[in-house]
Amino acid sequence: MKIQRGTLLFWFVFLGFIVLVQVLVGAGILSNFWATLLKIGAVMSIVSLGLNLIYGFNGQFSLGQWGFYAIGAYTAADITYRWTQLHNASGLVVILLVVLLVGIAFFLVAKVVARLRGLDALSAFTLYLIGLLIAALIAVYAGKSLIAPITNILNSLPPAIAIQIVFFLAVLLGGCIAAEISYIFGLPVLTLGSDYFGIATLGFTIIVKVLLDNSDTLLGFTEMKGARGMVGIPKLTSWIWVAFFLVVVIIVTRNLLHSSHGRAMVSVREDEIAAKAMGINVAQQKTITFVLGSFFAGLAGALYAHVNGFLHPNTFNFIKSFDPMIIIVFGGLGSVSGTVVAAFTWALVLEGLLRIVLPQGFETWRFVVYPLLLLIMMLLRPQGLFGTFEFPYLRQILPPPFQPRETAHPVHTTEDTLETGA
Amino acid sequence: MSTPSSAPDKPLLEIKGLTKEFGGLKAVNNFDIEIFPGELVGLIGPNGAGKTTVFNLITGIYVPTRGVIRFKDTNLVGFQPHEITQMGIARTFQNIRLFPNLTVLDNVRIAYHIHAGYSMYDAIVHNKRYDQHEKALTERAQEFLSVFNMHTRQGEIAKNLPYGEQRRLEIARALAASPQLLLLDEPAAGMNPKEVVELMDLIHFIRERFNLTILLIEHQMRVVMGICERITVMDFGEVIARGTPEVIQNDEKVIEAYLGRGAAALSQRLREKRSHVA
């Protein structure tokens, strides 16, 4: 297979940037402050890529991304907290089992729902909810007996490696939990039209925030400490880890978008009724995209939790849920390149550059400068920084046009296959 | 029902007693039609007669209040629109519904999605299966575009095409879903006379080329009378006449529905005068 020059250039620059940052941080040239901002930039890229799938490519205006981000963050934080502070794999084992069993339960319920044709969304939702609760209960009770052996296995490994394994799994599980919740939440909500969907997802983010405020009492996770904020999470998110997840997310997004499934996704945004008339299962496409986007949000949240080692429900306030929305609109709806560039710009400029450029005592003015920049941007370039422009590797290349064979009757090539229905 | 001798076997589409009520309004009332394989049938009627509602009922966008829509051997009532498309009914829309921001090629490629042949997993890891099927799919779409003489415009954004071309692309896209029955909703709407002639050619061409059965909604009498073999006329949700174009042209109820009672009386008088002369 021939690799395009643009693709090589893209990877050269992108991987070069990742290595350069790592070298600079390692050599102590880049301060901790900037290193953290770069990590936040990468984390925001992942959330925003997820949201861009949902809104930019599938056309569903969602403000729920931040709620899934919070779920991913707290899930992963709980796993690594229990591993480092309580010295057992209870979080890991139970959540792994929950993810697996709930996944199986959803799969089985989906089969039942498919058989009961014409079931309305709310009844289906109830069935899924029952499945989820049963699976989760079984997982919690079955998990108890598995905690000790798994802890022993992990303890037999060198601690430095064990903790990285736990962290990696925690991030994945954060994503999976977010994805599973988005699946069941999306069932009734995705049937709504776009504005109503936006409000419903905003409601979701608010619910998650309130639950987190009361996580120690209502949910019973005392280590999350509710509105006081969760402390003692190991700071495991290295630049290499976020960069790794960012690269994977970019590749997955790009490959998906360059396929028939990606086109089906976009067709829903373009015209739902026409998509249906083309045989595309619109409801299914919306669900898939929503789940995948939420999975990315969960991943990003899990990574975020281990950047500062501190989580507070206020970080997941619904006001903040507009951040990824702003990033994707700023970068260009439906542009992967734009999203990543905008996310890094957002992190570096808003928290970094403006803090430095603005005189002492005027730092909070960045919340005046930043909206002003957005305003000017929207007036001058409403399609966003990149519009739908993509960097070489991310761009779709059209194959050369069809060359009709030089026969006298050029249009009788597929007739045989089509005539069989006669 | 008086179908010409060309009624070989069972109808491809058979609608019986189709009724759709929106609140108290009967948009379609007791609608019957039979369409045999290979036919080109017209559905006409004044504005608001319920023609497009019939299309929306056939394609599953609306669920009928009563009635049966039998396509081949299945009753379509209760199926989702995408399932109905997959069974072999494709349609175009009265106001063009292309995927406006996508390229001409992608518009057609989306219609092939149901036959893509690879899973989402294959797409994400870009394995051999993806490569093969995606290449085949693209080549098929490109070849298909060349049938409509649009292969050179594959990279153009659909909304930038001229109106006539957009119509053509919409028909091409519908055919890419490889239907047996094609529903055309006012394909000539907004076209100039030259484009209308081209369209009529195109309809003849696709019918022969793809062995299609076509049900056509149209306002322009020239198109309907020119290409349809049988016509069904609707008014206020009900069938008021059916038959060959010649029969329809002289049907009193049809003239009344289209031109009003006075005009109908006038035409009646004219016809009487003519028969006196004869």
- Give the mean pLDDT of B54-77: 91
| pLDDT tens per residue, range A125-138 | 999 999 999 999 99
Pick left, alpha or beta for residue B143 (phi over 0 → left; psi -120 to 50 → alpha; otherwise beta).
Answer: alpha
Same domain, B125 and B238: no
**Claim to verify: residue B62 and residue B193 sit in the same structural domain:** yes
Which residues in chain B are closer than 8 Å to A411, comparing Cβ atoms?
146-147, 209
Inside any domain, residue B63:
yes
Interface mutation vs chain A, best among B59, B80, B85, B99, most A CBs within 10 Å: B99
Domain count of the fold of chain B: 2
A242 Cβ neighbours under 8 A, 6+ residues apart: A39, A42, A43, A46, A303
Angle of CA points A223, A317, A189, to nearest 5°: 100
Q: Could you please report the per-residue DSSP string of B10-55?
A: S-SEEEEEEEEEETTEEEEEEEEEEE-TT-EEEEE-STTSSHHHHH
Length, in residues, of chain B: 278
Q: Are residues B159 and B209 in the same domain?
A: no
Average pLDDT for chain A: 88
CA-nearest residue to B176 within chain A is A278
Q: Closest approach of chain A CAs to the CA of B74, in angstroms?
A: 15
Residue A412 has pLDDT above 50, yes or no: no
Instruction: Please name every residue paired with B184 in a beta bridge, in sequence order, or none if there are none.
Output: B216
Residue B39 has pLDDT above 80, yes or no: yes
| Residues B70 and B108 reside in one and the same domain | no
Contacts of B120 in chain A (CB under 8 A): 256, 259, 261, 288
| DSSP type of residue A86 | S
Residues B12 and B140 occupy one common structural domain: no
Q: Which residue of B has its CA nearest to A292?
A: B120
Local structure of residue B67 (DSSP, 8 states)? E
CB proximity A263 to B under 8 Å: yes
Is residue B156 within 8 A of residue B103, CB to CB? The reply is yes
The closest CB to that of B124, out of A255, A404, A414, belongs to A255
DSSP character at residue A218: T
Looking at residue A79, its pLDDT comes to 94
Query: Is the confidence at residue A34, as pLDDT, over 80?
Result: yes
Which residue out of A7, A261, A270, A278 would a mutagenesis test of the B interface target, given it has the greatest number of B Cβ atoms within 10 Å?
Answer: A278
Task: Considering only residues A388 and A410, tell me which one the structure prediction assigns the higher pLDDT.
Answer: A388
CA angle A16, A18, A20 (to 5 degrees): 65
Give the span between the Cα atoms of B174 and B198, in whole angstroms: 18
Distance (Å) from the alpha carbon of B209 to chain A's nearest alpha carbon: 7
Looking at the structure, do residues B146 and B15 belong to the same domain, yes or no? no
The end-to-end CA distance of chain B, in Å, is 31
Residue B273 in any domain: the answer is: no
- CA–CA separation, A139 vs A147, rounded Å? 12
Instruction: Give the end of a domain, one of B173, B197, B232.
Output: B173
pLDDT for the residue A411: 41
A55: nearest Cα among A289, A337, A311: A289
Q: Which of A113, A253, A256, A259 to mutate to test the interface with B (most CBs of B within 10 A)?
A: A259
Q: Is the pTM of this model over 0.95?
A: no
How far is it, in rounded angstroms, from Cα A140 to Cα A128? 18
The answer to whether residues B14 and B124 belong to one domain is no
Give the end of a domain, one of B157, B173, B189.
Answer: B173
Let me know if residue B124 belongs to a domain.
Answer: yes
Nearest residue of B to residue A412, measured between CA atoms: B209
Residue B154 belongs to some domain of the structure: yes
Task: Describe chain A by its helix, strand, coil percentages, rounded to 5.
Answer: 75, 0, 25
C-alpha distance from residue B98 to each of A164, B93, B172 (Å): 49, 9, 11
Contact B91 A264 (CB under 8 A): no
- Is A271 within 8 Å of B120 when comparing Cβ atoms? no
Contacts of B78 in chain A (CB under 8 A): 117-118
* Interface membership of A416 toward B (CB under 8 Å): no
For residue B111, the chain A residues in CB contact (below 8 A) are 278-279
Nearest to A270 among B61, B99, B178 (CB): B99
Among all residues of chain A, which has the CA nearest to that of B111?
Answer: A278
Residue B216, in any domain of the structure: yes
Per-residue model confidence as pLDDT tens digits over A67-100:
999 999 999 999 999 999 988 888 999 999 999 9
Q: Residue B37: its chain A contacts at CB < 8 A?
A: 422
Residue pair B188/B218 in contact (Cβ under 8 Å)? The answer is yes
Same domain, B167 and B185: no
Rounded Cα distance, B88 and A101, in Å:
39
DSSP A157: S
pLDDT of residue A26: 86
Per-residue buried b or exposed e for B95-132, using 16+ beta carbons within 10 Å of the residue's own CB:
ebbbbbbbbbbbbbbbbbbbbbebebebbbebeeebee
The verdict on B197 and B128 lying in the same domain is no
The model's pLDDT over B164-219, given as tens digits with 9 standing for 90+, comes to 889 989 999 999 988 999 999 988 888 888 888 888 888 988 988 888 999 999 87
Instruction: Give the tens place of pLDDT for each residue, A253-306.
Output: 999 999 999 999 999 999 999 999 999 999 999 999 999 999 999 999 999 999
At A387, the amino acid letter reads G
Residue with tokens 């390229």: B103
> Is residue B93, in this structure, part of any structural domain at all?
no
Q: Look at residue B237 in the predicted model and tell me its pLDDT.
A: 87
Q: Write out the H or E segment, with its range, that includes residue B236.
A: none
3-state secondary structure of B244: coil
Contact A29/B at CB under 8 A: no
Both B159 and B185 in one domain: the answer is no
Residue of A nearest to B147 (CA): A411
DSSP A344-394: HHIIIIIIIIHHHHSPTT-GGGHHHHHHHHHHHHHHH-TT-SSTT---GGG
Residues from chain A that touch B100, judged by Cβ atoms under 8 A, are 270-271
Question: Does the CA dihedral B160-B162-B164-B168 come out positive or negative?
Answer: negative
Percentage of chain A exceeding pLDDT 70:
95
Nearest CA in chain A to B154: A401
Is the CB of residue A256 less than 8 Å from the CB of residue B124?
Answer: yes
pLDDT band at B85 (very low <50, low <70, confident <90, very high): very high
Q: Does A418 touch chain B (CB under 8 A)?
A: yes
Distance CA(A118)–CA(B79), nearest Å, equals 8
Range of the domain at B109: 100-173
Q: Which of B81, B122, B151 has the CB atom closest to A401's CB atom? A: B151
- Residues with Cβ within 8 Å of A374's Cβ and at least 6 positions away in sequence, in order, are A326, A330
Please state the φ and ψ torsions of residue A409, each to the nearest 5 degrees.
-115, 90
Look at residue B23 and tell me if it is in a domain.
yes
Mean pLDDT of B262-278: 74
* Average pLDDT value for chain B: 87
More confident residue, A393 or A256: A256
Q: Are residues B68 and B22 in the same domain?
A: yes
Q: Is residue B262 part of a domain?
A: no
Give the integer Cα–Cα distance in Å for A280 and B82.
Answer: 5
Is residue B2 located within the same domain as residue B133?
no
Identify which of A256, A260, A288 has the shortest CB distance to residue B113: A260
CATH of residue B188: 3.40.50.300
Look at A273 and B123 and tell me if their CB atoms are within 8 Å. Answer: no
Q: Which of B154, B173, B192 is the last residue of a domain?
A: B173
- Residue B91 CB contacts under 8 Å (≥ 6 apart), including other chains: A277, B55, B59, B174, B182, B183, B184, B185
Q: What are the chain A neighbours of B9 within 8 Å (beta carbons)?
A: none
Confidence of residue A226 (pLDDT cuts 50, 70, 90): confident
* The pLDDT of residue A55 is above 90: yes
Average pLDDT score over residue span A185-212: 90
SS3 B71: strand
Cβ-based contacts under 8 A for chains A and B: 139
A414 CB within 8 Å of a chain B CB = yes
Helix-then-strand count for chain B, H and E: 11, 10
